[in-house]
Amino acid sequence: MPKFWRGALYAALLVAALYYLLPLYVMVVTSLKTMDQIRAGNLLSLPTSISFEAWGKAWSSACTGVDCGGLQPFFWNSVRMVIPAVLISTTLGALNGYVLSKWRFRGSELTFALILFGVFIPFQVVLLPMAQTLGWFGIANSIAGLVTVHVIYGLASTTLFFRNYYVSIPDELIKAARLDGAGFWRIFLRIIIPMSTPIIMVVLIWQFTQIWNDFLFGVVFSAGDSKPITVGLNNLANTSTSVKEYNVDMSAALIAALPTILVYVFAGKYFVRGLTAGAVKG
């Protein structure tokens, strides 16, 4: 390739990189300015002096609707929601995938197809019945309710991930273990699980990102002190106050984004693998 085109190629790639990075840059610099600096400067200007005031306010004293305790309680709600939901849905997914790939029975393929369709439904269609059902069980507007919802509707994708991974483990391995007298659980715990580290990472990260970032279930099935971080952030950014504090909004957005960004930075490989796993096999 001629030198000129090579140069143009790199220029185009760098422009694209800037396009993706700019919003993050704007968020970070805005969050470090005071409102006076925001009014005096513009989107791209660096803060004249760095101030963490907006971060502090977003964390512990910004108003979301009527209460003014910052994002802190919502952040911890999300943590308390995401940990059990991820662990339970991943465990169930691994078991389902194991059965659906290595212990097929009459009707197991149909079961798989039925579960698989759950990946695709628009969740709007379950919101009204679910709201009523959670009420009957007495877990409406609670963290337990949110965990339940995320486990149920996460099953389809966790099952799909594990099943597709386990299909590629040779059946001979299972047969040999059976000849040695190993049973269903022993094979699962001693053979399958030790081979599953990559897929477990993929599913854990996938579920964590999905559930942490969820807004629909959060806004419909939570109230008062059980709201997750995404709902808290949305309320904070859309609370109409006399002066719009963009620096506080941006700090709040960064606080909400931090956990998933950290996961992406440290385990991006698995995140990308999860994103592409479903789509590229075709």
Partner 1 sequence: MSNPTQSAHYGFAERWLPRLVLAPSFLLTILFVYGFIAWNGYLSFTSSRLLPNFEWAGLVQYQALFESERWWVAVKNLFIFGGLFIGGAMAVGIFLAILLDQKIRGEGALRTIYLYPMALSFIVTGTAWKWMLNPGLGLEKLMHDWGFANFTFDWLVNPDTSIYTVVIAAMWQSSGFVMALFLAGLRGIDDSIIKAAQIDGASLPRIYWKIILPALRPVFFSTLMILCHIAIKSFDLVMALTGGGPGFASDVPATFMYAMAFTRGQTGLGAASATMMLMTVAAIVVPYLYSELRGNRNA
Residues 146-205 binding partner 1 (CB under 8 A) are 152-153, 155-156, 159, 171, 174-175, 178, 183-184
- The helix/strand/coil state of 270 is helix
φ, ψ of residue 137 to 5 degrees: the values are: -85, 0
Smallest distance from the beta carbon of 236 to partner 1, in angstroms? 9
Q: Report the distance separating Cα 159 and Cα 111, nearest Å.
A: 11
The first and second tokens of residue 69, run together, are: 């305790």
Q: How many residues bind partner 1 (CB under 8 A)?
A: 96
Q: Report the distance separating Cα 39 and Cα 55, nearest Å.
A: 18
Smallest distance from the beta carbon of 56 to partner 1, in angstroms? 18
Candidates 14-22, 66-74, 79-87, 196-204: pick the segment binding partner 1 (CB under 8 A): 14-22
Candidates 53-61, 67-75, 129-137, 195-203: pick the segment binding partner 1 (CB under 8 A): 129-137
Q: Report the distance separating Cα 203 and Cα 198, nearest Å.
A: 9
Q: What is the dihedral of CA 44, 50, 53, 59, to 10 degrees?
A: 70
- Contacts of partner 1 in 248-277 (CB under 8 A): 249-250, 252-254, 256-257, 260-261, 263-264, 268, 271-272, 275-276
Under the binding rule (CB under 8 A), the answer on residue 136 touching partner 1 is no
Q: Report the distance separating Cα 274 and Cα 219, nearest Å.
A: 26
Residue type, 105: F
The first and second tokens of residue 2, run together, are: 């001629």
φ, ψ of residue 3 to 5 degrees: the values are: -60, -40
- Contacts of partner 1 in 221-250 (CB under 8 A): 230, 233-234, 237-238, 246, 249-250
- For partner 1, the binding residue among 118, 144, 201, 239 (CB under 8 A) is 118
Smallest distance from the beta carbon of 241 to partner 1, in angstroms? 15
- For partner 1, the binding residue among 103, 198, 241, 266 (CB under 8 A) is 103
Candidates 23-31, 51-59, 60-68, 137-145: pick the segment binding partner 1 (CB under 8 A): 23-31
Residue type, 123: F
- Contacts of partner 1 in 72-91 (CB under 8 A): none
